[in-house]
Structure 1
């Protein structure tokens, strides 16, 4: 089961033989509710380390608040998006890596028992492990070592990073695998994720079309009330808010990559009134379309 390809991200990693990379994310003067991590998914694992500010991340239909010093684990293939919780500077580090990083461990039976089930998505680590088992916080010093090694780039730093990540998986597996294996639960695939997939794909490709809540609700066989409730739980946005976000993101691309006038771009993303388009764009991006061009 997967999400629309239009939402799929292909992270630029260190290389095919070393599928790992750190991303240092910063949103200065972020406004409450501002999008700080756009809705996407990828086949890689992602660990988000909050450094400054506070945010709420929606991961596979569930929301998680994140404050400085806290950590989230995004599963491979998980749909995720993030918003600032308040007016503040926001900084967080994303550790992104592919399961093939540990391909050299395949002959180790302990690795096969404790780590492979998570790499193959047979089981899933909790998104916020320390919330369930507070002692997991003691493992996060391994992440600090990873960041330091990447910044310092000392001898064999890549090997150290790889070993620290593997050790983190082993420790978390030792904490959560026994109970997960006993209950044989895997909550990764939910009915709503698959149900809404065609609608999300359609919305990402039809910016200029008028779409009402009622018509969108009919497309997934829900009444408008339950549709709105489920949609917000899945994406972290109301339906109208999400449509507007799709439009301004496409408008931003057109402003930066084409010579279309602001009025032409407004029409291309479904806003017939250029003045309304300017107001909408500034609401989401903090700058006017003409300001982007300048």
Structure 2
């Protein structure tokens, strides 16, 4: 089945590509491999992203909690959930679903308080029930469905697969529950939420966060580093960069994207962008345009 999927290896542009493809394609499946890049940027997306881990080691950090993902397990990431991935050699299938399409698909199946529902929080399902219910096969069928030339038939198959997936998710929760984070920190959760809401403010810094959380700068910095595996400055920079990338992809002038997302030094912004993504903002915009034409 792997041959039916688009392969992605150590690349950074897929978030914006998925954001633009999903309103048209509704469902996108890819086989992702990491061999050289061992950390994702801190990001979120407006679509559902479900990760089926095939092999390797992976750790996801979400709002002050650590989630370990093992081969055969399934992680559900709803729209808007900010997360960072750390991994060694890592292969996974990723199913990306347009939110409006899935809402429309399940609407006829459910009455208020009954029937399958779309998960609205991060969940991890263990290998046993994921294997029992054939989740990998369902994702692979979605990849094959992308090749159906008749749009109405393709959409009908997508709706059938998603309806089945929603029922399977409900059954797994009933039978086995959901996986829990390996560790969590209320302090880091408080601060990450604040950062996600205020990252565009140019004067936001560690001292301001420490005052907000009523702790010392040193204690906050140590706790944040322990639970997120990065500094507060690094986390804040990646939040700002995610928003910049989104704005640039949407056609905004690069200088405007820089200033409107909390960066006060344009030269420093350009250097940081290249360090994180390996290209300049101009090259990134050109890459995205080329990829969308393929």
For the 8 Å contact 1:57–1:63, the answer to whether it is kept is: yes
Q: Distance in 1 between matches of 2:153 and 2:282?
A: 48
- Kindly state the Cα deviation for residue 105 of structure 1 after the two structures are TM-superposed: 1.3
The alpha-carbon deviation at position 87 of structure 1 amounts to 8.0
Unaligned segments of structure 2, at least 5 residues? 1-17, 178-184, 287-294
Relative to structure 1, is the Cα distance of residues 228 and 77 closer, same or farther in structure 2, using a 3 angstrom cutoff? Answer: farther
Say whether residues 1:202 and 2:198 are aligned partners: yes
* TM-score computed with the length of structure 1 as normaliser: 0.61
Contact 1:48/1:92 (CA < 8 Å) preserved in 2?
A: yes
SS in 1 for 2:114: helix
Aligned to 2:109: 105
* Correspondences of 1:65-84 after superposition (within 5 Å): 65=68, 71-74=74-77, 76=78, 79-83=81-85
Task: Flag the 1:249–1:134 CA change in 2: closer, same or farther, 3 A.
Answer: closer
- The 1:164–1:83 alpha-carbon spacing in structure 2 relative to 1, beyond 3 Å, is same
Question: Is there any run of 5+ residues in structure 1 with no aligned partner, and where?
Answer: 1-9, 181-189
Match of residue 264 from structure 2: 270
Residue pair 2:57, 2:89 contacting (<8 A) in 1 also? no
1:30 and 1:90 in contact (8 A); partners too: no
Give the C-alpha shift of residue 244 in structure 1: 2.6
Aligned residues: 254
Give the CA RMSD over aligned residues.
4.8
The structure with the larger Rg is 1
**1:77–1:280 distance in 2 versus 1, CA, 3 Å:** closer
Given the alignment of the two structures, is residue 48 of structure 1 paired with residue 48 of structure 2, yes or no?
Answer: no
Give distance in 2, aligned partners of 1:254 and 1:112: 42
- Once the two structures are overlaid, the 10-residue window that deviates more, 132-141 or 85-94, is 85-94
Q: TM-score, normalised by structure 2?
A: 0.61
- Report the counterpart of residue 286 of structure 1 in structure 2: 278
Residue 103 (structure 1) shift:
0.9
In 1, Cα distance between equivalents of 2:82 and 2:110: 29
2:224, 2:230 within 8 Å by CA — same for their partners in 1?
Answer: yes
